[in-house]
Amino acid sequence: MSHSTLQVYCVGGAVRDKLLGLPVQDHDWVVVGSTPEEMEARGFKPVGSDFPVFLHPDTHEEYALARTERKVAQGYKGFTVYATPEVTLEQDLMRRDFTVNAIAQGADGKLIDPYNGQADLKAGILRHVSDAFAEDPVRILRGARFAARFGFTFAPETLQLMRNMVDNGEVDALVAERVWQELARGLMEKHPSRFFTTLRECGALKKILPEVDALFGVPQPPQYHPEIDCGIHAMLVLDDTAKHNYPLEVRFAALGHDLGKGNTPADILPRHIGHEMRSVEHLKVVCERLRVPGECRDLALLVAKHHGNVHRAKELRADTIVKLFDNCDLWRKPERFAQILLACESDAHGRPGHEDDAYPQSGYLMECARAAQAVNAGDIARACADKNLIADKVREARIMAVGKTIKG
C-alpha cells in the first residue's frame, strides 16, 4: 500500500545511522496532519496504548502520529500525550532526546534538521534538544548507551542538565526492569565502559549501581598494577569482553567480578571475609535489585567466587580442580564453564600492557575438564556394590584422571 498522500517522515535512529554510514536496522516513521481514524481507514493497525502508534498493513513497520508531551508526574511514565493533526513535525522533533536523533527525512530525501543535529553528528556531540529532556530519566541511560556505541562526548550544558536530574531525584523514579534493559544494551555496545563512566560523570552511577561506583578510587593490590584503581580495572576488563564480542552473560560477569573490593558505604559484611565472597554477596544484592535474568546472575556469581582459583589453576591440586568443576557444575553445563574461562581471561587482560597476553589457564583447565568428563560414571555405578559409595568412587576416578593430566 502506498502512503504517498500522507505526510510521512523517517525520523530518529534510522536517519542518524544512515548519515553515519552505518547499517540501518529499523525505521521509525512520523505521520503529520492525520488522525487515528484516518490511519485505521487506510488499513493501519493501532498498537500504541500510551500514544497513537500504528503498524503499516504491508511492511508492519511502526508509524506514529506527530505528538507533543507534557510532564504531569515524576518518572518516565508521567506524561500526557497530545497527538492532533495540528502538531507540526518540528514540534514532534523537539520532544526527542538528542539533536542527532531529531533529524527527519521526507519522501523526497530532503533532510529536515531544525535543531542542527547534523552539525552535532559531525562533531560527535550529544546535545539535548530542549529542557524537556529533564522530564525523562531514561534519557540519561540512553545517552550513556549512545556514548558507549558511538564514542560521542556530551555538550557541557547537557551533562550539567543530567547532573541536575540526578540531584533532583528523577533517577530515583527509574524502575528495575527499565534500568536492566538499558544496562544490558549498554553492556553490548562497542565500548561498554563509556556507559558506566558517563553515568559516573553525571552522578547517576552512585544511584543506579553504587556497588560499581564504589570501585573507583580503591587501589588495586600491589601485585596488580597499583597505578590503576579497581574501577578502571573493571572498565578495562569490560572493554576486553566487547573487543572479543563475548555474549551478555560474560560481559555482566566481567562487570561484577570484583565488587567486593569496593568501599560500599552500606557494607555490613565483616572485613575478614575474602573479596571473592564479598563480591558474591554484593552481586546477589545487585541481581535482586535489578531483577537480572538467571543466566546472567548465575554466571556472574560463579566468576566472582572462582576467578581467583582459575587464575591460579596451575598451582591447584587435582582434588581442588575437581572441586572447582563440581562447584561450577561442569558435568551438566560445560558451555557455562567455558564462559567462566572467557570472563577470567578478560580479567587477566584488564591491566595496562597485558591486553594481549596469553592465558594458558584456559587451555590447561579445559584439558583437565576433558579428562574428568571422560570418566564413565555409569560404569562405576554398575561396578559399585555399595550404592552409597557411588558418588565418592566417581569423584576419586575424576581426581585420578585430572592428576594424570597434570603430571602429563
* 51 domain residue, yes or no: yes
* 257 domain residue, yes or no: no
* 103 domain residue, yes or no: yes
**pLDDT, one tens digit for every residue, the chain (408 residues):** 344 467 899 999 999 999 999 998 888 899 998 888 888 898 898 886 666 889 998 888 889 898 886 654 554 454 466 667 788 899 999 989 999 999 999 989 999 999 999 999 999 999 999 998 998 999 999 999 999 999 999 999 999 999 999 999 999 989 999 999 999 999 999 999 999 999 999 999 999 999 999 999 988 877 666 778 999 999 999 999 999 999 999 999 999 999 988 865 445 555 556 778 889 999 999 999 999 999 999 999 999 999 999 999 999 999 999 999 999 999 999 999 999 999 999 999 998 888 889 999 999 999 999 999 999 888 888 888 787 888 888 999 999 999 999 987
Q: How far is CA 183 from CA 170, 286, 406, in A?
A: 17, 12, 41
* 242 domain residue, yes or no: no
Enclosing domain of residue 45 = 1-120
Distance CA 140, CA 355 (A): 30
Contact 318, 402 (CB under 8 A): yes
* 87 domain residue, yes or no: yes
What domain count does the chain have? 1
CATH of the domain at 84: 3.30.460.10
**Torsions phi, psi for 112 (to 5 deg):** -110, 115
Q: Which amino acid is at 131?
A: D
Distance CA 101, CA 160 (A): 20
Distance CA 123, CA 100 (A): 10
* 133 domain residue, yes or no: no
* 149 domain residue, yes or no: no
| Single pTM value for the model | 0.88
* 166 domain residue, yes or no: no
Q: How far is CA 319 from CA 276, 306, 376, in A?
A: 20, 15, 18
Q: How far is CA 30 from CA 13, 53, 61, in A?
A: 13, 9, 11
Pairing of strands 28-32, 62-65: parallel
Cell of 146: 549512545
Distance CA 68, CA 79 (A): 10
User: For residue 238, which of 147, 349, 357 has the smallest C-alpha distance?
Assistant: 349
